[in-house]
Chains A and B, each alone.
Chain A
């Protein structure tokens, strides 16, 4: 593994409620090289908040603290908004969950992709156009000139998500955070979208954080896996070693997965008393 791209130590995210601050991420630590890291966990386990705090997108009154949140020698928590804008999109980018909501309904696809590019690079218009077409090709859109003129409501979910990927990768960031990129898609296009992310990330030698609740999917597309539960990392292992997971939560999750041709009459349910209090 090369020098780490991202170092996170003791990351904490909290929000105020009437009964005091509630921590949703409680002391998360990991390092990431130019590799593919999967973060798995159930709803509310803090995985999305982890992704957003790396981009410093947690809005007040949310509070992010960490002993270290270092991206390529830059202390993220130390950056002001202006410095963060130079990092967002250009160096760290994020693919969001549902293209129905995450694409601007009144801008054409081409305009939105162009915006991601020209925010960070001053280019002549013709070059911008060429880059957009090339990028749409890269996400396997067959007729990029036509698609660039469409509005988001005129494209399908799978195509919308490929457009999202094109938009987030066009400034050539070093780290891509994919926050449940396929949860809103049909199973049939999930693999297609993930294959595209995988191919582009490998080709460009980027780092990837794939946030998902799907253990199988993450173990297929990632090198390393963090399992989160209630704001803590409960398990960290190489993707291939998932079967040997130690923590009762992970073991419970694995046991609850049905397998084709199995003979169990009843799938076990998570017994949360085993690790409560961790």
Chain B
């Protein structure tokens, strides 16, 4: 690609810079279109799933003691008497104007609920994946570089624990030890009770909101509350990320170009990080992206144990109450998260791997 571009004779008409801008716009435009189409597909799937599951949304609204006349009135009010395609179009129109309907169980608009619950999950998941990457990747690299050593064995044990220990158990033990006994961390919830409601939500993430409003005390209190659940989440992604990093690295370290680097007399640290690690960044992005998306779905177990008002909890409650608007809204948010993470991964591939450009 690069060859044709540079060896092509300078043609009259648009200049090189001009063409570059055009190409960039085309890329961004194509990107927006695929994003939009994927999102529409997602809407269609959530909508039709919502219509085929054997839950009667009208019944959830009117209750089971309503008369037939009340039931029919509610059904017409909800637009459920219209043909499916008209319902879908009005649904899409509403979604794009930010209206996801009312939640039956909380009595508030779903969009409002989501803007409260999702940031809580987002905050915890982001911290969790950061912990997973910052510890997991170096651990995996070290394990591969020193295959068979004690550190390699430790990582195997950690990986095994990450797969086999139940999350709620680890959360409870963590609370019993670090909160109840050692008093190192805050307990369940996002803040101590006397700090609750003092920062007005801007982003919905307390760590950021408290800093924005200069409430340092609240910030540290929020840190002490989030650190344990985030660490538990981080542990599970760490175990997975470390294992994958190790196996990617072992594969690279046996490649010929790694031997080439050694022949050149390059220090081992550079051999490992520049020559073996750089090529595995692309598969690692996939692994980290999927783990992150998994965390963003919200872990019901962890959120329950830590009384965390996250989207996992919200979605489960909504499901149990046949609160279809809330379920569809949450599903939509989670789907959108997957779309965005996939798109970001795609862009990063192209940045990091010259062969993918």
* Partner-B contacts on A (CB < 8 A): 55, 57, 81, 84-90, 93-94, 96-98, 101-108, 115-116, 119-120, 146, 149-151, 153-154, 164, 167-168, 171
Tally chain B residues at the interface, Cβ within 8 Å.
25
B320-357 contact mask (Cβ, 8 Å, vs A): 1 or 0: 00000000000000000000000000000000111100
B256 pairs with A98, CB closer than 8 A: yes
B6 neighbours in A (Cβ, 8 Å): 146
Measured between beta carbons, the chain A residues less than 8 angstroms from B260 are 96, 102-104, 164, 167
Is there an interface contact between B259 and A106, defined as CB atoms closer than 8 Å? no
B263 contacts A89, CB within 8 Å? yes
A57 — which chain B residues lie within 8 A by C-beta? 259, 262-263
Asked whether any CB of chain A lies closer than 8 Å to the CB of B52, the reply is no
> Residue-by-residue, is B254-287 near A (CB-CB < 8 Å gives 1, otherwise 0)?
0111011111111110000011001100000000
Q: Which of B1-51 contact A (CB under 8 A)?
A: 2-3, 6-7
Instruction: Tell me the B residues contacting A by CB distance below 8 Å.
Output: 2-3, 6-7, 255-257, 259-268, 274-275, 278-279, 352-355
Q: How far is the CA of A101 from the CA of B257 in the complex (A)?
A: 6
| Complex-state Cα separation, A56 to B210, whole angstroms | 58
Whether A101 contacts B256 by the Cβ 8 Å rule is: yes
Whether the pair B354, A115 counts as a contact (CB closer than 8 A) is no
Q: Give A89 to B264 CA distance when docked, in angstroms.
A: 4
Q: Could you tell me the distance between the alpha carbons of A97 and B352 in the complex, rounded to whole angstroms?
A: 27
Tell me which residues across on chain A come within 8 A of B278, comparing CB atoms: 104, 106-107
List the 3 closest A-B pairs by CB distance, nearest first: A89-B265, A88-B265, A101-B256
Q: Decide if A105 touches B355 in the complex (CB within 8 Å).
A: yes
Chain B residue contacts of A85, Cβ below 8 A: 265-267
Contact B264 A167 (CB under 8 A): yes
Residues of A within 8 A of B259 (CB): 57, 96, 102
Q: Does A104 contact B279, Cβ atoms closer than 8 Å?
A: yes
- 19 A-B pairs within 8 Å (CB atoms) are namely A57-B259, A57-B262, A86-B265, A88-B262, A96-B256, A101-B256, A102-B257, A103-B257, A104-B260, A106-B355, A107-B278, A115-B264, A116-B264, A120-B265, A149-B2, A153-B355, A154-B2, A167-B260, A168-B264
